[in-house]
Amino acid sequence: MAGVPSPNRIKTHQIYTIWEAAEALGRHRQTVIRWIKDKGLIADQSRVPWLIRGADLKDFLGHRRAKVRTRLALHHLYCLGCKEPQEPDGKFAEYSQQTATTGMLKALCPACGCILNKVVKRADLEVIRAKIEVAVQQANPRLVSLLDPRSNDTSTPEASTHDKTQLG
Ligand SMILES: [Zn+2]
C-alpha cells in the first residue's frame, strides 16, 4: 500500500459506490470498505450499494495525506507530551554523532517545553538543515545544559576536538 491516493482523482460533486471509488483511486474495494468501517470515511450505509459523496472522500484522503506528510517530515520530532510531531522550538536543534551513519537530534518542544529526541541519519542532516538550524555538537551552551545535565563539564578539551564535520 504505497502512500495515499491523491484526492484530485475524485470529483467533489459526484456520488460514488464502493466500486466506483475503488476504481477511481486504483485501490481494492475492500480497502474502501475498510476506510468506511475503521477509518472514519463517511458513507451512506442506509441502503445497498453504499454511497460516498465525492466531497467526503476528497476530505478523507486529504487528511490521510496530511498525516503521512507530518509523520515523514525529517525536521519534526515526536513529542511524548503533546502526542504529535513538533517543529523544534526556535527552529533550533542539536545534533550529536552516535555511530558512523546516525546521530541524535535533540530539541525543545515549542508547545510544552519537553525535550525531544530523535535518531536521524547523518545523510539526512542536510535536508533537516534546510528547514531548521542544527548545531553539530558544539551547541548553544544553554540548550546543551538543558538537554543534558551531564554535559555541564565543559572543561574537557575533547568538547572542542577537531571539527571534521564540515557542516557549518
Ligand atoms: Zn510537546
Q: Any idea where the domains of the chain sit in the sequence?
A: 7-72, 77-154
Please confirm whether the linkage preceding 49 is cis (ω < 30° from 0): yes
Spacing, Cα 79 to ligand 1 middle (Å):
5
pLDDT attached to residue 148: 57
pLDDT attached to residue 4: 83
Distance CA(97)–CA(21), nearest Å, equals 47
Spacing, Cα 102 to ligand 1 middle (Å):
24
Size of the chain, expressed as the number of residues it contains: 168
Spacing, Cα 28 to ligand 1 middle (Å):
38
Overall fold of domain 77-154: Nucleotidyltransferase; domain 5 (3.30.420)
pLDDT attached to residue 146: 56
pLDDT attached to residue 59: 94
Assigned C-alpha cell, 8: 484530485
Spacing, Cα 80 to ligand 1 middle (Å):
7
Spacing, Cα 103 to ligand 1 middle (Å):
21
Spacing, Cα 29 to ligand 1 middle (Å):
38
Q: Is 37 exposed, middle or buried (0-12, 13-18, 19+ CB in 10 A)?
A: exposed
Spacing, Cα 90 to ligand 1 middle (Å):
14
User: Which residues in the chain show pLDDT less than 50?
Assistant: 1, 139-140, 154-161, 163, 165-168
Contact indicator for 94, 107 with CB cutoff of 8 Å:
yes
pLDDT attached to residue 145: 55
Alpha helix ranges (H) inside 79-154: 125-129, 141-147
pTM for the model = 0.45
Spacing, Cα 75 to ligand 1 middle (Å):
15
